[in-house]
Amino acid sequence: MNDRQGRALAKISIPVDADLPTNICSSGVYLPKYYPQDNIFKPLISKQVFLNAFSKVLLKNLNRTIQNYWEDVLASASTSSAVRLIEINDFPAQIKEYFYELRANDKDEDALYKISEAIVEWLTDNPEEYQTRLAVELYGISPTAQRILIAVLSDAEAQINSENLLYVIESFLESTDKLLAQSSAVCLLTCGGLLGRNILQTTLSIKNLPHSELIQGIIELFG
């Protein structure tokens, strides 16, 4: 296959071990290669083929679930700090079973409240690392279970020290579920201290939230 100037384009991939900069030109992707005759850019792959391959990789990454995204974020953070990433298997057997029940989404609200109360009671007696793990687990349960678990955190006035958990709760402010957004706002104010309040106010000011008036009213109510 030739480009518009008649230069042959080899159908090969860009070598992984190339330590020279890549140049994307109008007709192809080039790596600088020196030849005795002259210093030229040797075309390695057509621009369109390169962009198609790049798009596939990009879409693959974008299609990851939110829960897997947080797994990667927290795993990365754990390698650069003294905080060890807690896994679900590190939970006591009974607490782990509670989370499985929340994921199953087959309980009525009364049962969800009892399960959530047991989880929160256990959580308040354990280090911050477990709160960070809760940030991941919240994405794996239904909106109803999310709302109830967050509401129970507020009722218990549990102190949330994990920024990861605060920001996950903040993400639920964008929910169209009015009760979930309301519970999340209250939790940030009740459990998040100054950081939780700042996160809430910043989100309200820069995002077009579905229930912005409700959230503004909650902030004013808490003073």
**Span 173-221, pLDDT tens digits:** 999 999 999 999 999 999 999 999 999 999 999 999 999 999 999 999 9
Q: Are residues 38 and 79 in the same domain?
A: no
Q: Are residues 47 and 69 in the same domain?
A: no
DSSP state letters, 162-209: -HHHHHHHHHGGG-S-HHHHHHHHHHHHHHSHHHHHHHHHHHHHHS--
Give me the pLDDT at residue 18, please. Answer: 45
Give me the pLDDT at residue 116, please. Answer: 98
Domain final residue, candidates 63, 91, 108: 63
Answer whether residue 53 shows pLDDT above 60. no
Find the helix or strand (DSSP H, E) in which 30 lies: strand 28-34
Q: Are residues 49 and 133 in the same domain?
A: no
Q: Are residues 72 and 114 in the same domain?
A: yes
* Rounded mean pLDDT, 66-87: 53
Neighbour count for residue 181 (Cβ, 10 Å): 22
Q: How far is CA 51 from CA 1, 8, 36, in A?
A: 17, 19, 31
pLDDT in tens, 81-133: 445 678 889 999 999 999 999 999 899 999 999 999 999 999 999 999 999 99
DSSP state letters, 71-97: HHHHHHHHHTSSPPPPPGGGS-HHHHH
Domain final residue, candidates 34, 63, 92: 63
Q: Are residues 99 and 34 in the same domain?
A: no
DSSP-derived 3-state class of residue 111: helix
* Rounded mean pLDDT, 62-78: 48
Domain final residue, candidates 13, 44, 63: 63
Q: Are residues 57 and 69 in the same domain?
A: no
Q: Are residues 183 and 158 in the same domain?
A: yes
pLDDT in tens, 14-51: 444 444 444 444 444 444 444 444 444 444 444 455 45
Give me the pLDDT at residue 203, please. Answer: 97
pLDDT in tens, 147-160: 999 999 999 999 99
* Rounded mean pLDDT, 44-64: 50
Q: Are residues 135 and 50 in the same domain?
A: no
Answer whether residue 66 shows pLDDT above 70. no
Instruction: Quote the domain boundaries for residue 51.
Output: 1-63
Q: How many domains does the chain have?
A: 2
Q: Are residues 49 and 75 in the same domain?
A: no
Give me the pLDDT at residue 4, please. Answer: 53
Give me the pLDDT at residue 88, please. Answer: 87
Q: Are residues 23 and 115 in the same domain?
A: no
Give me the pLDDT at residue 194, please. Answer: 97
Q: Are residues 34 and 79 in the same domain?
A: no
Give me the pLDDT at residue 42, please. Answer: 41
Q: Are residues 128 and 200 in the same domain?
A: yes
Q: In what order do the strands lie in the sheet with 39-46?
A: 23-24, 28-34, 39-46
Read off the pTM: 0.64
